[in-house]
Amino acid sequence: MLDYIINKTMEYLDGMPKTKRKKIGQFFTGLETARFMASLFSLPKKEHLDILDPGTGSAILTVALMERLEQEATIKSVSLICYETEPAILDLLKENLEYIKSAVSFEFNYKMIIKNYITSQQKPLPIADLVIGNPPYRKIPRLAEEATMMEHVVYGAPNLYFLFTAKSIENLRDGGELVYIIPRSWTSGAYFKAFRTFLFKETTIEHIHLFVSRDKVFENEAVLQETMIIKLKKQANQLNEIVISSTESSSDFNNIQYIRVPKKLVVGNDDNQYVYLVTNKEEVDVLERLSVFHNTLSSLDMKMKTGLTVDFREREHLMDEPTNDNVPMFFAQHLQDGRITFPIGKHGEYLDTRKSALLQMNTNYLFVKRFTTKEESRRLQSSIYLQDDFPDHKQISTQNKLNFIARNKKELTKPMVYGLYCLFNSTLYDKYYRILNGSTQVNSTEVNTMPMPTLDGIVFLGERLLKENDLSEKYCDDVLEEYLNDEARRSERVS
Ligand SMILES: C[S@@+](CC[C@H](N)C(=O)[O-])C[C@H]1O[C@@H](n2cnc3c(N)ncnc32)[C@H](O)[C@@H]1O
């Protein structure tokens, strides 16, 4: 059945320009992915099933699920609800649904709803035992009707894909299951916070599937989206573990890697509800090792912030030489081997003091680069900034291509900055950050939620670095490793 529907879809694709499909968010699931998605359901032992496929397209996902149901002896009848708004595909969709009706051995009836899946349901009802979907991926304005109707899951820039997911959760019956293929972006970041809170409250994540070579999901379609498959169950959480599977790409499901991961490692807590996308034992170990730390920068009254000055907007206020009326302005280029090298003779290294909104106290900071390249071996690249190295200035400024960590009310002491450096320059924290965020950018929101030792612990690490005067990654790793082992022993003794 599926081969037939895919061939029909290919014919449709030949007649439709990609630019048009991109505009409406129409990209079709491949055969292998669709089969795999259908295989994830733990089918209830029922004779009749109500199934929902929102944004049905040509019904590829529905067909994959029907193929699966054909193998289940208990199924006697299926009612399918489809939502689809694109006029150009409606004929093909109807044709395909009729084809399914004629091909399956159980009773099959369907309802095609040619309405906007989000806005046509003012009060969504729990109508489905199973939901399967590949929703449109498209950013929409904050005031678009879809977003204003789904305010409970919107916290910033909305995207149709997570509004579809939330609506489908609402359409699921208690105990029902949802399998969706969606971008990875919702798993971290502030914009998706309200959605994550909703998802965690209403469902249990049972299975996550990741594609290791991140960009190959819609190979034929050349859509560069980092995607994942999730399986959710609408019931209170009873599982302590999540299954995470992975394949190299979406066209090769012959070689699937599976790991079972303690849920508490992968799905954060109330303050930090990220989903950590790990695909191997080594990454699970990274999460496990740092799980002994229960603080965050926020809980330690510290914060990572982004540098204050957008240098190209301030050209006329930047100067090449120091005067009484300007202050040092630190750029990412001044971060060198863990220390600050200043000046380096680049243009505009000093900022006019009249730009008072762009000035900050000259105090101790840890500077962390905001942008790194894929080729660079580390995402977290930091340097120690000490106020004493610039004794002539009460204030300084920072370029917005670097982040800085400061203490909110008090100043960071020298051992504290060294201690933070030890953490941020270690291999373990670099790996942790990569799990948290797949991009090359270092975001404050995520760093502010990373696990941190106590303040005393940070000072202890800093003193070790100061004593040896060694800022190498290797030394930071050794000092942190020793400290973690001691911590693990201490917590064993307590328990
Ligand atoms: C990414 S495609 C996936 C199609 C199909 N489910 C598949 O997996 O091959 C999303 C589909 O949703 C449809 N769509 C977009 N916005 C919609 C809306 N607001 N309500 C219903 N369908 C919508 C598009 O026309 C498109 O066919």
pLDDT digits (tens, 9 = 90+) for 46-59: 999 999 999 999 99
Q: What's at 103, amino acid-wise? A: A
Asked whether 61 lines ligand 1 (CB < 6 A), one says yes
Lowest mean pLDDT segment, chosen from 299-308, 360-369, 371-380: 371-380
Helices (H), 40-86: 60-70
What is the whole-number distance in angstroms between the Cα of residue 89 and the centre of ligand 1? 10
Facing residues of 367 across strands? 383, 404
**What is the reported pLDDT for 340?**
97
Beta-strand (E) ranges in 118-256? 128-133, 172-183, 204-211, 227-233, 241-247
- Cα atoms found within 13 Å of the Cα of residue 153, Cβ hemisphere only: 26
What is the whole-number distance in angstroms between the Cα of residue 137 and the centre of ligand 1? 9
Sign for the CA dihedral angle at 76, 79, 82, 88 comes to positive
What is the whole-number distance in angstroms between the Cα of residue 22 and the centre of ligand 1? 11
Nearest Cα residue to 476 out of 350, 352, 389, 378: 378
C-alpha to C-alpha distance for 385 and 115, rounded to whole angstroms? 58
17-41 core/surface letters (b: 16 or more CB in 10 A; e: else): eeeebeeebbbbbbbbbbbbbbebb
DSSP 399: B
Facing residues of 366 across strands? 384, 405
H or E element, residue 402: strand 402-407
pLDDT digits (tens, 9 = 90+) for 408-457: 999 999 999 999 999 999 999 999 999 888 778 898 988 998 999 999 99
Q: Whose CA is nearest to atom 27 of ligand 1?
A: 57
Asked whether 26 lines ligand 1 (CB < 6 A), one says yes
Measured at the alpha carbon of residue 325, what is the angle toward residues 322 and 327, in degrees to the nearest 5?
A: 55
DSSP 312: G
Asked whether 86 lines ligand 1 (CB < 6 A), one says yes
Interval 375-402 mean pLDDT: 96
Name the token pair of 22.
Answer: 């991109």
Q: What is the number of the ligand 1 atom nearest to the C-alpha of 137?
A: 1
Interval 234-258 mean pLDDT: 87
Asked whether 197 lines ligand 1 (CB < 6 A), one says no
Q: Whose CA is nearest to atom 12 of ligand 1?
A: 55
Asked whether 367 lines ligand 1 (CB < 6 A), one says no
Q: Whose CA is nearest to atom 11 of ligand 1?
A: 55
Asked whether 116 lines ligand 1 (CB < 6 A), one says yes
Q: What is the number of the ligand 1 atom nearest to the C-alpha of 9?
A: 9
Q: What is the number of the ligand 1 atom nearest to the C-alpha of 34?
A: 8
Asked whether 59 lines ligand 1 (CB < 6 A), one says no
What is the whole-number distance in angstroms between the Cα of residue 51 and the centre of ligand 1? 16
Mean pLDDT of the chain: 91
What is the whole-number distance in angstroms between the Cα of residue 27 and the centre of ligand 1? 8
pTM of structure: 0.86
Nearest Cα residue to 50 out of 8, 92, 81, 86: 81
Asked whether 60 lines ligand 1 (CB < 6 A), one says yes
pLDDT at 339 over 50: yes
84: left (phi over 0), alpha (psi -120 to 50) or beta: beta
Q: Whose CA is nearest to atom 6 of ligand 1?
A: 56
Q: Whose CA is nearest to atom 5 of ligand 1?
A: 57
Q: Whose CA is nearest to atom 16 of ligand 1?
A: 136
C-alpha to C-alpha distance for 427 and 433, rounded to whole angstroms? 10
pLDDT at 23 over 80: no
Look-up: residue for tokens 């806005």? 119
Give CB contacts under 8 A, 24+ apart, made by 202-205. 202/169, 202/234, 203/169, 203/172, 203/178, 203/232, 203/233, 203/234, 203/235, 204/232, 204/233, 204/235, 204/236, 204/237, 204/238, 204/239, 205/230, 205/231, 205/232, 205/242, 205/267, 205/275
What is the whole-number distance in angstroms between the Cα of residue 468 and the centre of ligand 1? 60
What is the whole-number distance in angstroms between the Cα of residue 126 and the centre of ligand 1? 20
End-to-end CA distance of the chain: 57
Q: DSSP string spanning 234-268? A: SS----SEEEEEEESSTT--SS-EEEEEEHHHHB-
C-alpha to C-alpha distance for 168 and 132, rounded to whole angstroms? 9
Helices (H), 72-174: 87-103, 145-149, 160-171
Asked whether 121 lines ligand 1 (CB < 6 A), one says no
pLDDT band of residue 214 (cuts 50, 70, 90) is low
What is the whole-number distance in angstroms between the Cα of residue 135 and the centre of ligand 1? 5
What is the whole-number distance in angstroms between the Cα of residue 274 and the centre of ligand 1? 27
Count of Cβ atoms closer than 10 Å to residue 437 Cβ: 20
pLDDT band of residue 12 (cuts 50, 70, 90) is confident
pLDDT digits (tens, 9 = 90+) for 164-204: 999 999 999 999 999 999 998 899 878 898 999 999 999 99
Name the token pair of 227.
Answer: 């995607």
Asked whether 85 lines ligand 1 (CB < 6 A), one says yes
Give CB contacts under 8 A, 24+ apart, made by 406-413. 406/302, 406/303, 406/305, 406/363, 406/365, 407/301, 407/302, 408/301, 408/302, 408/303, 409/301, 410/301, 411/363, 411/364, 412/302, 412/363, 412/364, 412/365, 412/366, 413/364, 413/459
Nearest Cα residue to 34 out of 11, 1, 8: 1
Q: What is the number of the ligand 1 atom nearest to the C-alpha of 83?
A: 21
pLDDT digits (tens, 9 = 90+) for 60-100: 999 999 999 998 878 999 999 999 999 989 999 999 999 99
Contact in structure between 401 and 335 (CB atoms under 8 Å): no
Name the token pair of 116.
Answer: 């906007």
Asked whether 164 lines ligand 1 (CB < 6 A), one says no
